Structures are given as C-alpha cells and as structure tokens.
C-alpha cells in the first residue's frame, strides 16, 4: 500500500540503482547555478519525456506525487511576482518541478532493496567502528520512499477538512497526520519484525 514503485517493469528499472542515484545527485548540483529559463524549461521537458516513456500509469502517478508541492510552488511564484521578481520565481518553480520530478522518477523505478544496497556500500567504512550500517541504510531509504506518501496523506487530510468545515485548515491537520504517521510506522515495524528485523548482516 505504501510502495511508490511502479507495478510494471520498464527500461528505467533495468538501470542499476547507483547509476540513477548518482545521476540525480549530479543533476541536482548542476541545476543550482543555472539561471537561463530556456535551459530550465528544456530540463523540465526532458524530465516530462522520461515519464512519457513509462506510459500513462507513470505519468498519472508522477503528477499525483507532485500534487502536494503544487501549492508551495504556486505560493513561491505569486510572492516573487508581487515583489517584482517574476523571473526568479519562474526559475525556482522550474527547478523544484524538475528536481522533485526526477527524484520521484528514480523512486518509482528503483526497488527499495536496491536503494539500501547502494547506501550500504557508501556506509561500509563505518563498519570498522562497529556501527550497524544496515539500520542507517534502511532509515535513509525509508525517508526517500515515504516522505512523498506523508505529503500526499497530509493533502488528503486537508481536503477532507475543507469538505467538512468552512474554517481554514491550519494547525488542525497536525494531530491527524501524526496519528497516520504513527499508524504507518507500526505497520512497517510489524512487517520488518515478520521478516526477521534489521540485522547487521544481509
């Protein structure tokens, strides 16, 4: 229920996880100094094209994962327009759209076990200090995997509130979201225990 990986195998699934993650890191750093809106639009077009190659299901899921950030991007753009910095607002919005979209693309086409494997390799020097690197790798992978899920659930809770009350949502969704997060955490911990828990050996 919580998995964001596409249920179908695509060409992107066949690319090793470390290559996709490395590409994501390189693109993320490379985009920060870019100020040419034409280039940023081209990058957004390329990211959108990647989704199109996966089919309609991937496009729909990608848009759904971006939905919780849409209001944030809209607010940023409106703020910059009102302060006379329209160009800067467009740049920030395009960068957010491209980077979040690309990160979601990697998440959708990469198995959780493969992500953990990459992080395990990066953390391997810590084994000499007696640190359980698998626990750290699992926590890292969980953050990547489930943060978009919490964003989506917070959006769903806010929509439910607005359907029942004319008052602004505000802080009122915090407690229900905490209960949802705790419930999900319990389900995940039960699943891990059923599979033998997290040990230092694979």
Predicted local confidence at residue 2, as pLDDT:
40
- Band (pLDDT 50/70/90 cuts) for residue 1 is very low
Cα–Cα distance, 185 to 188 (Å, whole number):
5
What is the per-residue DSSP string for 19-57? HHHHHHHHHHHHHTT---HHHHHHHHHHHHHHHHHH-HH
**Domain boundaries, given as residue ranges, for the chain:** 1-110, 132-202
The three-point CA angle 76-27-18 to 5° equals 125
What digits encode the pLDDT tens for the residues 153-182?
777 777 777 777 777 666 666 777 777 777
CA distances from 38 to 24, 27, 33 (A): 21, 16, 14
Asked if the model's pLDDT at residue 138 lies above 80, the reply is no
- pTM: predicted TM-score of the whole model, two decimal places: 0.68
What digits encode the pLDDT tens for the residues 43-59?
999 999 999 999 888 88
- Band (pLDDT 50/70/90 cuts) for residue 7 is confident
For the ranges 1-10, 49-58, 79-88, 134-143, the lowest mean pLDDT is seen at 1-10
Structure tokens at 112: 């959780």
Structure tokens at 2: 């919580």
3 vs 146, higher pLDDT: 146
For the ranges 13-17, 40-44, 113-117, the lowest mean pLDDT is seen at 113-117
In angstroms, the first-to-last Cα distance of the chain is: 25
Predicted local confidence at residue 179, as pLDDT:
77
Q: Once rounded to an integer, what is the mean pLDDT over residues 189-195?
A: 69
Q: How many residues does the chain have?
A: 202
Structure tokens at 83: 């302060």
Q: Once rounded to an integer, what is the mean pLDDT over residues 115-124?
A: 81
Residue given tokens 């848009």 in the structure block: 63
Alpha helices in the chain (DSSP H): 17-31, 37-54, 56-82, 86-108, 112-123, 133-164, 174-194
Predicted local confidence at residue 171, as pLDDT:
63
Cα–Cα distance, 190 to 197 (Å, whole number):
9
């Amino acid at each position: 229920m919580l998995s964001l990986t596409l249920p179908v195998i695509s060409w992107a699934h066949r690319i090793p996880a470390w290559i996709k993650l490395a590409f994501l890191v390189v693109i993320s750093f490379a985009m920060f100094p870019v100020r040419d809106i034409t280039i940023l639009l081209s990058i957004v077009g390329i990211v959108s094209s990647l989704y199109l190659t996966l089919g309609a299901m991937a496009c729909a899921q990608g848009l759904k994962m971006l939905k919780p950030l849409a209001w944030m991007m809209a607010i940023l753009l409106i703020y910059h327009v009102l302060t006379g910095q329209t160009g800067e607002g467009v740049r920030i919005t395009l960068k957010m759209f491209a980077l979040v979209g690309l990160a979601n693309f990697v998440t959708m086409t990469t198995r959780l076990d493969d992500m953990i494997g990459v992080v395990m390799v990066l953390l391997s020097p810590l084994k000499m200090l007696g640190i359980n690197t698998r626990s750290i790798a699992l926590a890292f992978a969980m953050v990547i995997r489930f943060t978009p899920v919490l964003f989506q659930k917070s959006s769903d809770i806010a929509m439910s509130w607005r359907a029942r009350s004319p008052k602004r949502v505000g802080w009122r969704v915090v407690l229900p979201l905490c209960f949802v997060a705790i419930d999900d955490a319990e389900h995940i911990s039960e699943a891990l225990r059923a599979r033998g828990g997290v040990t230092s050996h694979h």
